A and B are shown apart, each in its own frame.
Chain A
């Protein structure tokens, strides 16, 4: 299962790079969503995969019995998803605002802070 997921991660990263390099900020955001999901998958696969074995401790015991799923990557991914969601929401609003103020979503045309004719 791990090799298949590794290939999937590769495909997602390739797609996200394609989107991010387009220079259009909206496409860039879609690329960013994909890339952050690829990173989450890396953590998930890094914890090794098990089939249908939730990490639950039976009643009366202190440790789960037998082989169970690694709970730590799930906690990490959950944290990363929450943080990623917050950052993405901010980035989305920022790009929207940039479109209102600067009138463009093309990265190359955003030259207010660094004017092209800057002789300095």
Chain B
């Protein structure tokens, strides 16, 4: 029951918001209520998993491997918790940004459908079911992306839709092939069924198809182009939500597939993952350095951060997986926050283009602080959470003798600092090129409270996670242990070990 709660709550909220679409106030309350209920349900589920280890439930009374199972291990459940936190911040920020028309056209319905898809993808234990949840998320994200219908939104959406549709078809083809080779779709059964395939070509082919399919979703090099083409076009709150959840579902699926079912230690596979991770880190951060608009910098930079997560997966020592998990959580909290800060900067200065704005340090020093804390965390400075995330990944790569990749990660950290200081210098430090025009732009007290509250919430989370990292580190160690020692997962699903 607890396992289905996050999905059911999100769907019910989506339906309720749809029914209340003509009443703006009711819709907002329902949406906020749904997000908070999701947060509570996810905390209860997390407590259950921390106490008992992985738990599973067969849907509709059809026992595995015939029916669909939902499974929650620590990694899955931490993703659900973090999604729920993002749900709350997104909902609050949207009250200050999303227009009446956009709400009438179903912003809240789409938001909660997307969350339902995300929670489903994190919790499912069946690969075809994972495909279905991906599609739920995808169609909701299409809607959010074009809501408002501005020219550049349509342009960005075309590229987003095109590349994501190809990736889901690749994923579907992979499912067909792996079903043909093993006769099962249940992830726990596939753990033993895939290594038992005698023909190596089948294993490697399907592995690469899945890598491509999830790689597009996760925005890995060289298939990330949809991300910088589209993330700066919709409402700021949608950018923030996408950067937190859309790519992470792809990364989550990659980690799930390549820890549970496929052996990352296959020599060709590991080399490929390492090279892709390195290119993703470098190309993303160089792309960010070349941009001059707040959200485009942040979008390109998201790509480089995915590289760190993949590096953790590719090295595949327990410590490296801890680093990957840390990095996912860190990136969700910090990047979602920076997009929101960027949104407030744009509202106060009238443009996203760094050449056209400035003077925010003098006008709103508190906003400067709220930008600086997550930005420093992103660059990996102690004592913030980002420091620990980066430290663990880099330490893991040095311990595994992958010195080259460790140094690339360090170097990319420096360039991150460059991108963040560019936003700082241009947006906050230098004077506004047109001071009289900028002064006219101000936000009402109410709007400001709605926009800044989620930013404060996420900044506090970043700082707290950094200062009191040790309990979270312990949880991440356990989560990584459940990823490498998969017996508990399989026992939770199948009841026994085969």
Q: Which of A36, A46, A113 contacts B180 (CB 8 A)?
A: A46
Closest chain B CB from A90 CB (angstroms) = 6
Q: Which of A25, A72, A80, A101 contacts B172 (CB 8 A)?
A: A80
Known: A114-B229, A120-B291. A39 touches B169 (CB 8 A): yes
Known: A25-B158, A28-B162, A94-B146. A36 touches B169 (CB 8 A): yes
A112 within 8 A of B: yes
Enumerate the 8 nearest inter-chain pairs by beta-carbon distance, A residue then B residue, closest first: A120-B292, A46-B180, A43-B176, A42-B176, A113-B155, A112-B155, A113-B152, A113-B156
Q: How many residues of B contact A (CB 8 A)?
A: 44
A119 within 8 A of B: yes
Closest chain B CB from A58 CB (angstroms) = 21
Interface string of B151-163 (1 = CB under 8 A from A): 1111111110110
CA–CA, A52 to B149, complex, Å?
50
Q: Is the interface of A mostly helix, strand, loop or mixed?
A: helix
Q: What are 18 A-B interface contacts by the 8 Å CB criterion? A: A32-B165, A40-B172, A44-B176, A45-B180, A46-B180, A46-B181, A73-B176, A80-B172, A91-B161, A97-B149, A101-B149, A102-B155, A110-B155, A111-B155, A113-B155, A113-B229, A113-B230, A114-B229
Residue of B nearest to A25 (CB): B158
A38 within 8 A of B: yes
**Which chain B residues lie closer than 8 Å to A50 at the CB level?**
none
Q: Are B179 and A120 in contact (CB under 8 A)?
A: no
Closest chain B CB from A76 CB (angstroms) = 6
Q: Which of A28, A44, A45, A120 contacts B353 (CB 8 A)?
A: A120
Q: Are A39 and B135 in contact (CB under 8 A)?
A: no
Closest chain A CB from B191 CB (angstroms) = 19
Q: Which of A's residues lie within 8 Å of B, judged by CB?
A: 20, 25, 28, 32, 35-36, 38-40, 42-48, 72-73, 76, 79-80, 83, 86-87, 90-91, 94-95, 97-98, 101-102, 107, 110-114, 118-120
CA–CA, A112 to B367, complex, Å?
30
Q: Are A94 and B157 in contact (CB under 8 A)?
A: yes
Closest chain A CB from B404 CB (angstroms) = 31
B175 within 8 A of A: yes
**Which chain B residues lie closer than 8 Å to A107 at the CB level?**
158-159, 162
Known: A43-B179, A112-B151. A95 touches B158 (CB 8 A): yes
CA–CA, A32 to B155, complex, Å?
19
Closest chain B CB from A19 CB (angstroms) = 12
Q: Are B179 and A73 in contact (CB under 8 A)?
A: yes
Q: Are B138 and A87 in contact (CB under 8 A)?
A: yes
**Which chain A residues lie closer than 8 Å to B165 at the CB level?**
32, 87, 91
Known: A32-B165, A113-B229, A113-B232. A43 touches B172 (CB 8 A): yes
